[in-house]
Each structure stands twice: as structure tokens, then as C-alpha cells.
Structure 1
């Protein structure tokens, strides 16, 4: 699956204390995404840095408040585009749709030259914009940065009155996996 995966374009919009990370839903991108389902997640994420909260917006289980990662900043640096970036490492605990927990190492490269605590998906909370994420066989890399957009940015704020915990989301994933297993048996 990873060998046949195609690149997809995802977007991170940020303004003031908010960010929104999402897949641009065009027919071309959806076709690419269909061949990349296991390699990249098109689930949108909303972040409010004022209260250090990140929310995963899943159509399957609901709006999930995610626990921030515990980043360890290293001494390593590298240049991405025109920005000097610092390395940060974390271990992410994930819940499989088969009903068990597992961990993955995450490497982030962030630049303090853009002093916002945003990044793709859950990879936020560092003292600069995250420009690259590496984990397992997946890489997310910023390919274009526009700090002065001519058009207004779309920051989609989810209905925060309907938030569920990560544990509640895991339970819903378990139920969905079990229902899927039962359908396959029939």
C-alpha cells in the first residue's frame, strides 16, 4: 500500500490562535486519496493554541479532543526551504481499528522563524511552525508557505459542545470494527 501511495495536497490555515488542517476536496484529490487511504489521514484537525487544545473532526466517531504529544527538542537542526528548523521527537500512542493500542515514534522539524505553535494534524505545540513530520513510512512536508494571503483564510471551528474524549472515540472505533467484522461473517 505504501509503495503505491500517491502524494496528496493537504492545507494548514492559521490565524491568531486558531488553525485548521484539512484535505482539499477536489475530484482529483479524492481519487488520489482513495489509493492512499492507509498512508495518510484526511481527517481534519482544529487547534486553538490559546487553550492548548487540538480536536480531530471525525465523521465516524465525532469531535475528539486529542491529548498533546510530549515533545523532546533535540540539538539537531536542518534547513527546509529557507527556514532553519529544529528537531523534536515524541512517541504517539495510537488506537487501531482492530481494537488495540500501539505506539509510533514521531520526528518533527519546526522553525522558530515563524513563531506559532501550529502544525499538521496533532503535531503541534512546539515553539514554531512545524514544517515536516516523519513517522513510520509517512512524511508530511510543507511545500509552500504563504504568510500574507490575499484571500481570507477559512478556519473551520467545530461545534465544541459535542466533544468526546479519546477513550470514548476508541470505544466507538471498537464498536465500528466489531460491526464490520460481523458484516463480513454474514
Structure 2
């Protein structure tokens, strides 16, 4: 009874301050790397695992800033001046599936984000997905805020390779058996992308905005911690009503496309890369050269 009374007090006593609220939330990202998925289901040596893990560390451990008010937000990666150098090809692969600046308008339900895909800028428009959040009885303290746990199931884009996981052993063996031995094994045949995943969010009604990092929103309070598949975003600092903050407005750089159009572009380019991989025998020879978008 005391728990529910506390929740009700938090939900309603702070809502009166929501009209003029603004702030900045800083999030630290941590991602667990599945080396089996990266290796296409084939075992990697310990030395190779260490090399790949080191390369991916700077790509996966990042700081993001969410600048928000009651209805709008802009979410950006905080650039690191001392970032470690990265292999150009690896950097391009990682950035191909990582969104740039993301603008959300809670009133209109719109998302606008900048994406760079294989050297070309896109301005992707989409609607905020209404997840069926289930608020649980669990709570914990994050910094100076009381946060409550909520979960939801989210459908996964079949071309989102950040969600890739290795197929079961028997499925990988079947793929290898069916593969033409004259052709290199396509790594994509060794992985699968789940149809849906569980998302866990910890939100605080003490900051009464229905916002959060990335595309996530829709809870009665700011999301302070988010767990999506192998990635965790944890809020490390909050600055309320800052005197100086980035102006919140939609990004404008890139070719305007819808989410559906962008997914189609990514799929076509990915299929082209796979075709080239098969055609050149995995060693850089022959194959069809990639065209434009």
C-alpha cells in the first residue's frame, strides 16, 4: 500500500511543473559483443577476439546527450576529441547502422534523424512507435531520482544487423552443407535477426516528460536507464533548466526519405555487398562493382 501511495504522489505532485520544464540528460552506453555472431558462427581465436573487442570499444562505448523540453527533444552523440583511431572500413560498417542526430516531437508524434550510410547523408522521417509499456512494481534509485521499471516488446527491423545473433548449431551446419563449396561461405547465412525483443526502461516521474534516449518515449517520466538486447544506456548526469543548451529543432542535412524508403535502400545495398562477396570468392577479385543509391 505504501509503495502505490508513493507512486501516485510522484506521478501527480510533480506534473504541475511540466509546462515549463527543460533539461539535458547525459547517457553512457555499454554493449555486450557477441563474438560468435561477428564470426559468422565460426570460432575465433582469443587473439582475434581481443583485437576485434578493442576496435569495437570506441564504437560501442559512447556518451549521448538528450536535450529536452515538455514536447520536443534532440538526441546526439557527444563527440570525443581523444577517440582512438579506427580502421576506415570498420568505421564505415559501424556508422552505416548507427543513427545520427534524432529529433522527436511528442505532440506531433514525429521523429526526424540524420543518417550517413556508405558516405551518403539521409534525413529519415518516421513516427514515434507506441510501445505497449507494462509498468511493474519494481523501483530503484538512480542518482537522486526514484525510477520505476517498465517493459515492452518491440518488433525488430529485419535489416538491423546490430541485433544479429548466431543461428543454432544445427542450423549453421545445415547452411554449410547446402553451401556450394566452390563459393565462399556467406557470413549472413550464419546469423539471424530476432523478430522481436524485450525492452526494459527505468523512468522517473520526478522529471515529468514522456521522453527518453533515441526513439524511446511514452512513459510518465524521463527514462533514466534503457536495456535493449545487448545494449544498456544509463543516465550519468542531468542538468535541469540549463541557461545554455542546444536549440531543439529538426536536423536538415541529407536526402529526405521515409523510414520505409531508408530500410529499402539499406537492404538493396546489403544484398549488393553479399553478391559482390560471393562473386569475388571472398578475396577481393571479380564481382560486380557497387553502384550508387
Give the TM-score, by structure 2 length: 0.54
The corresponding residue for 1:45 is 102
Tell me if 1:65 matches 2:96.
no
1:13 to 67, 84, 101: 67
User: How far is 1:163 from its partner?
Assistant: 5.5
Query: Which of 255, 275, 279 does residue 182 from structure 1 map onto?
Result: 275
Higher strand share: 1
Count of residue correspondences: 183
In the TM superposition, what are the counterparts of 1:140-179 in structure 2 within 5 Å? Answer: 140-159=233-252, 164-179=257-272
TM-score where L is the length of structure 1: 0.81
CA drift of 1:30 comes to 7.4
After superposition, residues 69-80 of structure 1 pair within 5 angstroms as 69-80=131-142
Distance 1:126 1:76 in 2: 15
Structure 1 residue ranges, 4+ long, deviating more than 4 angstroms after superposition: 29-34, 97-101
Instruction: Work out the CA distance in 2 between the residues paired with 1:153 and 1:23.
Output: 13
Higher relative helix content: 2
In the alignment, is the contact (CA less than 8 A) between 2:156 and 2:195 conserved in 1? Answer: yes
Deviations 1:153-186 (A, max 9, x none): 2324134xx7544332221221121122233332
- Unaligned segments of structure 1, at least 5 residues: none
Q: What's the counterpart of residue 116 of structure 1?
A: 209
1:93, distance to aligned residue in structure 2 (A): 1.5
> Which stretches in structure 2 are left out of the alignment for 5+ residues?
1-31, 35-52, 162-187, 280-286, 288-293
Match of 2:113 in 1: 56
Larger CA Rg, structure 1 vs 2: 2
Q: Do residues 138 (structure 1) and 200 (structure 2) align?
A: no
What CA distance in whole angstroms lies between the structure 1 residues aligned with 2:249 and 2:82? 22
**Higher relative contact order at CA 8 Å, sep ≥6: structure 1 or structure 2?**
2
Residue 10 of structure 1: CA displacement? 1.0
